[in-house]
Structure 1
Amino acid sequence: MNATAYELPAAAVNAKLIALIASGAVFLGVFLSGFVIAEPAPYDLYMIGLIVVWPLFGMRIQRAAVPLLVLLVIMNIGGMISMTQMSDLAGTPLYLAVSLFLALTAVFFASVTAVQPSLYRVIFVAYVVSAVLTSLVGIAGYFHAFPGAEIFTKYDRAAGAFQDPNVFGPFLVLPGIYLLYLLLTGSV
């Protein structure tokens, strides 16, 4: 038996490796969005690092994301201007920092998916995995399945790995709709 081994060009191997690492990095970021028991959440810290590091590997803000960036910058400037009318400024800087962070993550995901549309599936799969895990934790907390499980409930409602059940419920909507879409289209 004679087997011929073909060598792939180093550039092709590197491109595949970079695409795999990028997909894994985006997967982990979206996955961590389901776990917000304390702030700053792991998602917040991870995404700040990812947004800072990503441009070093060649990510640029895509033309399609520029209108989003402009509108979010205008919104945040409006938030800063409205701050001048407040009598109590205690929580405002944190609110503006969170608004700016969310704007940056929106532009990040818009730019990444514009360049690599295949990441949409990765994002949805990560979101579903995160939703399933945090739901299981919420169910375990609701039924007091193990000692200390009550940390996953608030006000006798399942909160999953979130601080508040009012955040947990809306978090589950998009993965639920995505799974329903997959069922209806026969893509499961």
Structure 2
Amino acid sequence: MPPALALPQTLARFDLDRDARKSIAHRLSLALVWLTVASSSIVFSEPAPVDALTIGLMILLPVVGLVDAKPMLWGAFAVILTMTACGELSAALARETGIAVSHMTVSLYLVAASFLFATFIAKNPEKHTRLILNAYLFAGIVAALCGIAGYLSLFPGAFDHFTRYGRASGPFKDPNVYGPFLVAPLLTVLHLWLVRPLRSGILPLIAAMILAVGILFSFSRGAWAATAIGFAIYGYVYTITAKTNRQRVKLAALVLLGVAVLGLILAAALQSSAISDLLEQRAALTQSYDVGPDGRFGGQMKAVGLILENPLGIGSEIFTRFYHHEEVHNVYLSMFLNAGWVGGLLYLMTCLGTLLLGFRHALKKTATSPFFLIVFAALAGNICEGVLIDSDHWRHFYLLLALVWGMMAAEQRQSRPARSLRNLRPISRESLLFIPASRRVARLVRPPHRT
């Protein structure tokens, strides 16, 4: 073979070998991402297995080229990083610097992990979001099964390992984290039932029942509220963006079915005096530990006073050690205490901005619209729940935040807006036509043929 032809063929074989190695590296990296998210429900102690895997991904994903840091993500990351810097400054001035610095270091890690997953989503939003939601669904079902098994004591040792304070906690340390963790998987399986044919909807309904019972047995008022808010947002956006009334009718049927099944579950649960007493207690708007100067509300009033007196904050975890016997149970007040006025305002702006921009993006037609609606609705429920609990160190919160911002950044210039809300007629006035609304509108506004 002439040397002039041998060299190009050698280079071609080298390129093929390199592509093959790259493909294997990418597949292994995607498998590790799946494993990381799938293990995110195992948090018996900290650091958890998911933390070690996430740190590994911080090195691996940029090396194999599975990240894409969009300008929008850099801007959001700069805001959250500034908030964390304010927390570190407040920690340096705290009465116990070591504890406060340690808390904010964990916050910095969670912010970095969120940025990593956001850039991973931005690289290939449809494929990578599907991968993460698949792993998250697996983690949620495993966690719910553990919580149910623990609460019902289905096997020896289950109650000791999977319950806390007489409530289901699954493989988590706290039932107040376990319950909200299941919101996104629940919305995922409900969406699967809506988009699949009826004959293929049995497994999603079974999974939805498992997840719903898991949330119920957490006996977390915040988790119940997050679930209701998440489903309300999902149902509203799904209704106004559905292409046909058939899809809307199916959603209405799902709501009725869910109410009926929930009623049956409650009726069965109330047969147990222990469950009925706990349900009655947790369903009350206020608990005995909420009222009084030493209760939750009294602690929050103390927090407000400290915030006004300390523009730079008092440092993380200082409130419970020197001012009150428990946490503030309000993440927004906590962030003002932990990071001062600037850091607290930045956290509040981040959450409100995510809600506003996310809702606007949820009304757009994009390739990832179904995934985005699931994730955004779940995140919105968790953001609202922050009024009732300190959620600044919830791993799933930062994962949902990464999914939302990653999809928004990836599709910022590729999406086209959905129909304006002003142009949407009430559902009751629309005919039951199994034709996408966009086609009907196109026929009505098509210009006349010119000869």
What band does the TM-score fall into relative to the shorter chain?
0.7 to 0.9
After TM superposition, list the pairs within 5 Å mapping 1:137-148 onto structure 2: 137-148=146-157
Displacement of 1:60 after TM fit? 5.2
Distance 1:60 1:179, change over 3 A: closer
Q: 1:68 aligns with which of 52, 71, 76?
A: 76
Report the equivalent of 2:189. Answer: 179
Displacement of 1:91 after TM fit? 2.2
Question: Aligned residue pairs: how many?
Answer: 181
Q: Secondary structure at the match of 2:94?
A: coil
Query: TM-score, normalization: structure 2?
Result: 0.38
For residues 110-151 of structure 1, give each alpha carbon's deviation from its aligned partner in whole angstroms, at most 9, with x where no partner exists: 111111221100100100001101111111111112221121
Amino acid at match of 1:67: G
Displacement of 1:73 after TM fit? 1.2
Q: What stretches of structure 1 of length at least 5 have no aligned partner?
A: 1-8
Q: Are residue 48 (structure 1) and residue 55 (structure 2) matched?
A: yes
Could you tell me how far apart the structure 1 residues matched to 2:69 and 2:165 are? 44
Q: Secondary structure at the match of 1:91?
A: helix
Q: Secondary structure at the match of 2:187?
A: helix
Amino acid at match of 2:131: V
For residues 46-79 of structure 1, give each alpha carbon's deviation from its aligned partner in whole angstroms, at most 9, with x where no partner exists: 1112213333334555124211221121111111
Q: Secondary structure at the match of 1:74?
A: helix
Does the aligned pair in 2 maintain the 1:61–1:108 contact within 8 Å? no
Amino acid at match of 1:103: V
Report the equivalent of 1:123. Answer: 132
Could you tell me how far apart the structure 2 residues matched to 1:66 and 1:59 are? 16
Amino acid at match of 1:92: A
Report which of the two structures shows the higher radius of gyration computed on alpha carbons.
2
Displacement of 1:87 after TM fit? 2.0
After TM superposition, list the pairs within 5 Å mapping 1:1-188 onto structure 2: 9-59=16-66, 62-63=69-70, 64-117=72-125, 118-150=127-159, 151-186=161-196
Does the aligned pair in 1 maintain the 2:26–2:64 contact within 8 Å? no
Does the aligned pair in 1 maintain the 2:67–2:116 contact within 8 Å? no
Could you tell me how far apart the structure 1 residues matched to 2:194 and 2:97 are? 49
Moved more, 76-85 or 159-168: 76-85
Amino acid at match of 1:159: S
Could you tell me how far apart the structure 1 residues matched to 2:21 and 2:171 are? 37
Distance 1:57 1:19, change over 3 A: closer
